[in-house]
Chain A
Amino acid sequence: MSAGRTTAPGVAAVRLGPVALRVRRRAVVATLAVLLVLVGVLTVALLTGALALPVDRVLVALAGQGSGVEQLVVGRRLQRAAAAVVVGAALGCSGALTQTVTRNPIASPDILGVTAGASVFAVLVAVRPDVVEGALGVPPQSVVGVATVLGGLLTAALLLVLSQRGGFDGFRLVLVGIGVNALALAVVSWLLTRAELESAAVAQRWLVGSLEGATGTEVASLGLVALPGLLACVVLADRLGALRLGPEVARSLGVRAGGTQVGALVLAVVLASAATAVVGPVAFVAFVAPQIALRAFRTAGPPPLAGAAVGAALLLVADTLAQSLPVPLPVGVLTSLVGAPFLLYLATRSLRRTRG
Chain B
Amino acid sequence: MADTARLDTGAPAAPGAVTGELPPLRAVGVHAGYGDRAVLQGVDLAVTAGRITTVVGPNGCGKSTLLRTLGRLLTPTGGHVELGGDRVAGLRPRELARRLSILPQSPVAPDGMTVRDLVERGRHPHRPWYRQWSPEDVRIAKEAMESTGVADLADRALDELSGGQRQRAWIAMTVAQQTDVVLLDEPTTHLDLAHAVDVLDLVVRLRAEGRTVVTVLHDLGLAARYSDWVVVMKDGRVRAEGPPADVLDATMLADVFGLDAHVFPDPYDALPTVVPTGHA
List chain A positions with a Cβ less than 8 A from chain B: 4, 7-9, 13, 18-22, 103, 165-166, 235, 237-239, 241-242, 244-246, 248-249, 251-256, 298-301
Task: Say whether B155 contacts A235, CB under 8 Å.
Answer: no
B154 contacts the other chain (CB 8 A): yes
As a 0/1 sequence over residues 96 to 129 of chain B, the CB contacts with chain A under 8 angstroms (1 = contact) are 1110011110011111111011100110110011
Contact with A along B122-144 (1 / 0, CB 8 A): 10110011111111001000000
A161 CB, min distance to chain B CBs, angstroms: 15
Contact, CB under 8 Å: B132 / A239? no
Query: Which residues 51-109 in B have Cβ within 8 Å of A in the complex?
Result: 71-73, 93-98, 101-104, 107-109
Q: A4-B135, A235-B129, A255-B93 are in contact. Are A300 and B109 (CB under 8 A)?
A: yes
Do residues B133 and A245 form an inter-chain contact, with CB atoms below 8 A? no
Residue with the greatest number of chain A CB neighbours at <10 A, chosen from B72, B104, B122, B177: B104
Taken residue by residue from 160 to 178, chain B's Cβ proximity to chain A (1 for < 8 Å, 0 otherwise) reads as 0000000000000010010
Pair count A-B, CB < 8 A: 96
C-alpha gap A242/B121 in the complex (Å): 7
Of all chain B residues, the one with the shortest Cβ separation from A105 is B111
Q: Is the CB of A301 within 8 A of B110?
A: yes
Are B131 and A20 within 8 A (Cβ)? yes
Per CB-CB distance, the 4 closest pairs between chain A and chain B, nearest first, are: A254-B97, A300-B113, A254-B125, A254-B94
**CB–CB A20/B125 < 8 A:** no
Q: Which residues of B contact A251 (CB under 8 A)?
A: 72-73, 93
Considering the complex, which residues of chain B in the window 138-157 have a beta carbon less than 8 Å from any beta carbon of chain A? 138, 154-155
A13: chain B residues within 8 A (beta carbon)? 133, 138
Residues of B within 8 A of A7 (CB): 116, 133, 138
* Known A-B contacts A7-B133, A19-B131, A254-B97; A300 and B117 likewise in contact (beta carbons under 8 Å): yes
**Bound Cα distance A154, B72 (Å):** 31
Contacts of A165 in B (CB 8 A): 35
Which of chain B's residues have a CB closer than 8 A to the CB of A246? 104, 107-108
Q: Which residues of B have CB within 8 Å of A103?
A: 108, 110
Query: Which residues of chain A have C-beta atoms less than 8 A from B101's C-beta?
Result: 252
The CA-CA distance from A18 to B108 in the complex, in Å, is 32
